Structure 1
Amino acid sequence: MTFWICGTCAVEHAERIDVCAICADERQWVPADGQHWTTLEELAGSGYRTEVVELEPDLFGVSSTPKAGIGQQSKLVRTPAGSLLWDPLGYLDDDAVRRVRELGEVVAIAASHPHMFGVQVEWSRRLGGVPVLVTEADAEWIARPDPVIRLWKGTEEVVPGVTLSQVGGHFPGSAVAHWAAGAGGRGVLLSGDTLFPNPDRSSVSFMRSYPNRIPLSPGVVERVTRHVEQFAFDRVYGNFENRIDADARAVVRRSADRHIAWTRGDFDHLT
C-alpha cells in the first residue's frame, strides 16, 4: 500500500491531500513554498538512515539522519513484559526494525501528541501489528486510519511499570509516559513536548505552540504540573535529545511557578 508522508511534520497520510491539517493548524506551519509530500522509498533513496543508541539501561533513542520532518528522537522503553515505542519516527527502514526487534518485543506504540505520530501505523506493521495507542481527544488528527489504532483516555498501563497518562495542554490529548524503573528506580518521565526540557538543562517550558511561540495560560500550566506531580520521577526526556538529568520533578515545579508568575504579570516591571 502506498501512503504519503508530510515533508514538514513527517506524519503519515493515507491520501495525498492539498495540505496537511496538522501543519495548517496554528501550532505548526506550512512552508512558504507550499505543501510537500514524500514517501519512505523517496527518503531511502535520498540517503536517510536510522540510528539506535542507549540512553540509559533499558532506554534507547531512535533517530534518523537526516532528520525526518520535525526530527524527533523516538524512545524505546524495554521491560521484562515487552517494550513501548514512544513518539515514533517519521522514517523507518529494515535496519531500524531489525535493531528494535533485537532489543525485545514491542507490545505498544504511542505518541505524546499528533506532531509525533510519525509513521506510527507503518512501524506497527513492520513490528507485527502491535497496537498503536492514540488518545480519544486527538483522534481527529489521525490521517492514516488503520485497525491497529486503539483509542484510550485518562490512564493506560502499557506494561507493568510503564504508564501512559493524558495530561492535555499542548493538545487536549497530550500525554506523558511514566517509567517507574527508570533512572535507577527513581523514575523517568517521557514528556514529548507536553513539557519541554530547555537548553539550559535546568528548566522546562509549557507552550501551545513551540514554533509559533504561543504560551499556555497560568491555569493550564498549574493543571499540567499538578497532573505530572502524581508520579515519582528524577529524570525527564523530551522528544528530541533534550533532557533534565536529575531532580526533574522539582525542576518542573519551579519552571511552572516561573511561567505562571511571568504570564500573570508579576514581573512586568522588568520589561
Structure 2
Amino acid sequence: MPVWICATCGNHYPETGKPPDNCVICADERQWIPPTGQRWTTSEELASNGYRSDVREVEPGLLGIGVEPSLGIGQRGLLVRTSGGNLLWDPPGFLDEQALRAVEEAGGLHAVSSSHPHMYGAIIEWSRAFDAEILLAEADLGWLTRPEADVRSWSGALDVLPGATLVQCGGHFPGSAVLHWAGGAAGAGALLSGDTVHVTPGEDRVTFAWSAPNRLPMPERAVRRIVEAMRPYSYDRIYTGWWSPTLHRNAQRVVDDSAERYVQFLRGEAPSVI
C-alpha cells in the first residue's frame, strides 16, 4: 500500500488502501484546499510523471535538496554539514535515489528536523533511509500525519550538533522554529528560517505572516517573541524555505528594523499610511 502525499502541501500520510478524506494540514486556516477539491498522489506516481530531486550546493557546508517540477508548497530542504554529523532541515515531499546518494556522499544523516508542520514533507522516509533521529517541536507534535514515527520532541532550544541549534520562535505555529548554523556565511552565522521569517523579494528586508497564502498577519506580540527568541544568536544571513529569496548580509540588523516597521503598520503608526 502506498504512502499518500497531499499534492497541495506535500505532507505524507500512512500507508492505507485509500487516501484520507482530506489533508488536516491544508484544511487548517493557515493553508488551503484547491477549489477543485483535495488531491492525492504517491511517490511512484510522481516519479512516473518525471519528478526528480534537484541537488545544489548553496554555500560550503550547505547542500540544497529540492524537487523539479515544484511539489506542494515548493520548499527545498537544506543539509547542514558539521564536524559531528549532518542535519537535514525542511525536507520536501519527494525523494529519490539521486537525493539519497547525494546525502550519502556528503556523510550521511544524523538527524532530520523541520521548521513547522507545513514542511514535514518526507521526514519519515529520510529518517528510515539513514536511521536518523527525527527532531520536532513538542508544541506541534499533534500535526504529524504519520503517528507511527519515532520522534524526539524538544522545546525552547536544542543543541543538535556542533554549531547547529534548533530555536523555538512560535508565531506561525506554536512550535515554529529556526535552525541557527554558527558556521554559515563564512563563520558569521546563518539562520534557516523556513517561513518563520519571510525574506522579501528585494532581499533587503523581512516580514512575518500567520498565513502567507491567506494573507493573515502576525500579531505584534508574536513578532516580538520571534525576534527575542533569535536575539541570543549571531547571524549575518537568512535562508528561507525556498531557493530564493535569501537575505545575504546584515540579517540581524535587518530583522530588528523590519520587525519595528511591521509593528508600525499593525498599529497604524507608519508615516506613509493614509
Post-superposition CA distance 1:109-136 (Å, at most 9, x none): 0010000000110111122x21111111
Aligned length: 270
2:216 aligns with one of 202, 214, 223:
214
- Asked if structure 1 preserves the Cα contact closer than 8 Å seen for 2:261 and 2:270, the reply is no
- Asked if structure 1 preserves the Cα contact closer than 8 Å seen for 2:64 and 2:79, the reply is yes
Structure 1 runs not aligned, ≥5 long: none
Whole-Å separation in 2 of the counterparts to 1:37 and 1:151: 28
Letter in 1 for 2:81: R
What's the counterpart of residue 157 of structure 1?
159
TM-score, length-normalised on structure 1? 0.97
- Asked if structure 2 preserves the Cα contact closer than 8 Å seen for 1:167 and 1:174, the reply is yes
Letter in 2 for 1:217: P
CA apart distance, 1:227: 1.2
What's the counterpart of residue 242 of structure 2?
240
TM-score, length-normalised on structure 2? 0.96
Whole-Å separation in 1 of the counterparts to 2:253 and 2:156: 24
1:182 aligns with one of 181, 184, 193:
184
Whole-Å separation in 1 of the counterparts to 2:271 and 2:164: 42
Whether 2:80 is the aligned partner of 1:71: answer no
* Aligned counterparts, 1:1-271, within 5 A: 2-14=2-14, 15=16, 16-127=19-130, 129-241=131-243, 242-267=245-270, 270-271=273-274
- Asked if structure 1 preserves the Cα contact closer than 8 Å seen for 2:124 and 2:149, the reply is no
Taking a change above 3 Å as real, the CA distance of residues 226 and 6 of structure 1, as seen in their structure-2 partners, is same
Whole-Å separation in 1 of the counterparts to 2:272 and 2:10: 42
Whole-Å separation in 2 of the counterparts to 1:23 and 1:142: 13
Structure 2 runs not aligned, ≥5 long: none
CA apart distance, 1:268: 7.2
Whole-Å separation in 2 of the counterparts to 1:44 and 1:142: 24
CA apart distance, 1:151: 1.4
Whole-Å separation in 2 of the counterparts to 1:77 and 1:178: 10
- Asked if structure 1 preserves the Cα contact closer than 8 Å seen for 2:4 and 2:41, the reply is yes
- Asked if structure 2 preserves the Cα contact closer than 8 Å seen for 1:179 and 1:187, the reply is yes
Post-superposition CA distance 1:203-235 (Å, at most 9, x none): 111110000011111121111111111110000
- Asked if structure 2 preserves the Cα contact closer than 8 Å seen for 1:124 and 1:148, the reply is no
Whole-Å separation in 2 of the counterparts to 1:122 and 1:51: 17
- Asked if structure 2 preserves the Cα contact closer than 8 Å seen for 1:121 and 1:146, the reply is no
Letter in 2 for 1:60: L
Whole-Å separation in 2 of the counterparts to 1:123 and 1:66: 20
Whole-Å separation in 1 of the counterparts to 2:222 and 2:34: 30
Whole-Å separation in 1 of the counterparts to 2:73 and 2:154: 25
C-alpha RMSD of the superposition = 1.2
- Asked if structure 1 preserves the Cα contact closer than 8 Å seen for 2:90 and 2:115, the reply is yes
- Asked if structure 1 preserves the Cα contact closer than 8 Å seen for 2:168 and 2:176, the reply is yes
Q: What secondary structure, in the 3-state scheme, does the structure 1 residue paired with 2:185 have? A: helix
Post-superposition CA distance 1:65-117 (Å, at most 9, x none): 01111110111100111111000110001111011111112100001000000
- Asked if structure 2 preserves the Cα contact closer than 8 Å seen for 1:88 and 1:118, the reply is yes
